Structure 1
């Protein structure tokens, strides 16, 4: 007996909620704005090393996404790429856990060197998994359904993230588990969580993709055609510019906790404290972003998110004079920005990317977000040489410029 449309939709929605729930729980275990920066500051005081690691985390997929997109466009089904990416990420979590356990105290340099490999693996596997994931969502759900899917996924993911935040708070509470076992346990839970998150995708029926180019063109030709695509599709090229400039806010996110540690000399117990505030901000923001998305558009979500990214550095500077507890507001607002980017940028991209060329657009989008690659390193260099205040003001200025471009260059 064939399933009704409603049954198929609900099953597909459940699959993505399941994945989003366990993925969010997992990502709390290595949260890149609190947990991971705290680990790096335990291993080294060098801000540039942290910036380079964060650049690899955000940027490694971008170098490969055009190649991934090129190969994926000839495959009608993308689930195998998604599953492979998730399992490789799980392995990278496990690798980080083992190296931290064995070497963090005896030889921190070994852990730092290993992190360059594990973060690279974590990053590129997430890159091609993300391409497949976005393409599958685009095939399964209609345009008018995607906002609901992202909102539901974000809501249940936020609940899981809150659970993960409570686990992190317990793991990093004073006297519970000593360093480096606290990080080892956190990463191990992350590895198991990703494995569980992937299980749901075995039960989904992936629609067959439209493949327009049955004859493979050389990769060199594909890369040469990228400027032609950007010139042909002005909306897409404007989107690329806006998304690149928005990476300035991403550049500074992991440094907010480093700024707090340098300013307030806080203990590791604040890692869980700030993560909880970030997650609570994410949960509250779901209602806010859902309202904005449904009443206005994904473009409005993006522009509001960019505005928040512009004011957070100023808020951080002001609250640095009022102690570590009030500074928690910064992470509450960071939760809004993280959630807003997920709810805004991807749905907007799916609206402007032609269905039959989605894999190509995904690859080009990822690869041309080159500023995401260099900004964390530049952020670490700026902070190391010019200090936090100057860097924060630069970020605010660029984000306000980006906001102007959104309002005048991006279509609704």
Structure 2
């Protein structure tokens, strides 16, 4: 069946439905603020925060390299998409129940179970993302993609901004673990509603790349890397700039250890992060697709370095609100450029494969939080911040050679 304008429009609104309710859920399960703060309140250490951040932001993406060979063998991938998101929904429900009954568990068991459920949540997202990227690429007409990314950013930004006040209220309405119990139950409900958008998707264009076995898969990877140099530089970029999205959890840890951060302050940090994301989305939407991905990539490098410099220059009085505002800008621009550039360097036949290959680019983002947790435990925060800046600066080389066309 051919992708018609009507089917493309149906998929357009279905994807926006999911994006909207996912945005509502995100504030209640935020990986930069809520989950790290919850882990520390549950007895987690700097090393625990590093490991959990690696799982949420790096390791889950790296596992796409494992999932991609399997999923690439199927022409239609909606079933895998639903399997992935449903596992995330159930993991959130289980997290809420775990916190509700946390008084009956020993602290060490609590931390272990948190790790287990967050791992299920993150791996479910990695599994679903391969199918999502493939379905989105072939279920929207090419001329609808960039407007989709822009309106999606505005829609999610507005909903994020509205729901952040509710999330901040819930966080400050009670102490641990009751406040986090409410947070995860709300996140569970919102994500369940968001999944209805995926159920309504109409996948009509088949896309299949036959992968016989793991050896064959890595042969395909080697072939694509040799044939498509832009893919090599794209991997280099996300393998360096990608660590920027794992920085804010360590700012939360720094604030908790040095300034006795409370739950209501966590909510305020979340608010400023969301404002930064919303402002960025509105600005890019106002440009109506006239922005260039390359300029956004350079902007991300500058802001990421600035983020770490602020805390190095002002260690006793770090401007946390400004830092989380900048963090929101970084998150928004990185999300838009990642999706857009991936679609630019791939095509319909290899998009699922490329999504899996992209997971390989998350080796450093997966390892960096682990290394960061260890460095902070052994030597303190300053060496970690310096290393972060050096890795971010290295990403400029890959951006220069990526040569984005749009």
Contact in 2 for aligned 1:302/1:345 (Cα 8 Å): no
Report the 3-state secondary structure (helix = DSSP H, G, I; strand = E; otherwise coil) of the residue aligned with 2:63: helix
Q: String of CA shifts for 1:21-58, please: whole Å, max 9, x gaps.
A: 11111121111111111111112252011111221223
1:114 and 2:113 matched: yes
Q: String of CA shifts for 1:363-409, please: whole Å, max 9, x gaps.
A: 11113421121111111112222222221122122212212331244
Q: Distance in 2 between matches of 1:119 and 1:223?
A: 29
1:252 and 2:251 matched: no
Who is 1:11 aligned against? 10
1:336 and 2:329 matched: yes
1:288 and 2:314 matched: no
1:206 and 2:203 matched: yes
Question: How far is the alpha carbon of 1:276 from its aligned partner?
Answer: 0.6
Question: How far is the alpha carbon of 1:79 from its aligned partner?
Answer: 1.1
Question: In the superposition, relative to structure 1, how do residues 266 and 53 fare at CA in structure 2: closer, same or farther (>3 Å)?
Answer: closer
Aligned residue among 154, 176, 183 for 2:180: 183
Who is 2:296 aligned against? 301
Q: String of CA shifts for 1:86-135, please: whole Å, max 9, x gaps.
A: 11001111111111221257522111100221111111110111111111
Contact in 2 for aligned 1:58/1:372 (Cα 8 Å): yes
Who is 1:230 aligned against? 225
Aligned residue among 311, 326, 333 for 2:306: 311
Who is 1:384 aligned against? 377
Question: In the superposition, relative to structure 1, how do residues 151 and 258 fare at CA in structure 2: closer, same or farther (>3 Å)?
Answer: same
Q: Distance in 2 between matches of 1:139 and 1:409?
A: 24
Question: How far is the alpha carbon of 1:197 from its aligned partner?
Answer: 0.3
Q: Distance in 1 between matches of 2:326 and 2:163?
A: 19
Q: Distance in 1 between matches of 2:404 and 2:219?
A: 26
Q: Distance in 2 between matches of 1:409 and 1:150?
A: 20
Question: In the superposition, relative to structure 1, how do residues 104 and 159 fare at CA in structure 2: closer, same or farther (>3 Å)?
Answer: farther
Q: Distance in 2 between matches of 1:63 and 1:409?
A: 21
Question: How far is the alpha carbon of 1:82 from its aligned partner?
Answer: 1.0
Q: String of CA shifts for 1:211-239, please: whole Å, max 9, x gaps.
A: 354xx522222124322321221110111
Question: In the superposition, relative to structure 1, how do residues 269 and 210 fare at CA in structure 2: closer, same or farther (>3 Å)?
Answer: closer
Q: Structure 2: which 5+ residue stretches go unaligned?
A: none
Who is 2:214 aligned against? 219
Question: How far is the alpha carbon of 1:4 from its aligned partner?
Answer: 7.4
Q: Distance in 2 between matches of 1:358 and 1:48?
A: 35
Q: Structure 1: which 5+ residue stretches go unaligned?
A: none
TM-score normalized by the length of structure 1: 0.92
Report the 3-state secondary structure (helix = DSSP H, G, I; strand = E; otherwise coil) of the residue aligned with 1:172: helix
Question: In the superposition, relative to structure 1, how do residues 410 and 243 fare at CA in structure 2: closer, same or farther (>3 Å)?
Answer: farther
Alignment RMSD (CA, Å): 2.2
Who is 1:38 aligned against? 37
Question: How far is the alpha carbon of 1:319 from its aligned partner?
Answer: 4.9
Who is 1:272 aligned against? 267
TM-score normalized by the length of structure 2: 0.93
